[in-house]
Structure 1
Amino acid sequence: AYNYGWQPHYLLNEPVRVSAGSTVRVIGALDNSVSNPTNPDPSLEIKFGLNSWEEMFTGYFTYHPALD
């Protein structure tokens, strides 16, 4: 389930080292089915948008260069 507390940012417990030239992918899933008890209308097609009733999934990253 979506956690509104993660909307501003989510911090990892441990840093992840990412090598130069790596590709970072963000993967998400949206449950628009009748099996989702928090879905008000499974018949609606969900599209990306900037309103809370639209899908706003996107990935932003903050990084810090390794010190070693």
Structure 2
Amino acid sequence: MHFKDIIQIIKDRRESLQVTQETLAQLSGVGLRTLKQLERGKGNPTLITLQKIGDALGLEVSMKIKNRITE
């Protein structure tokens, strides 16, 4: 999954719950400026930041590392 897909899921979830960016910033502990930048496709959030946002929205954030090298 690409970064912009993740951000779109977050934005869609926030909007479907009718949560403002300001409220999400308060609930997640992530700065309002950071949230606005992310939703515009800017910035480079850490996994911790994505986890905080996901927790506040009831989303599960997980990371999968896969070795694509085959012998």
TM-score of the superposed pair, with normalisation by structure 1: 0.31
The structure with more radius of gyration: 1
Q: Return the structure number with greater relative CO, CA threshold 8 A, min gap 6.
A: 2
Structure having the higher helix fraction is: 2
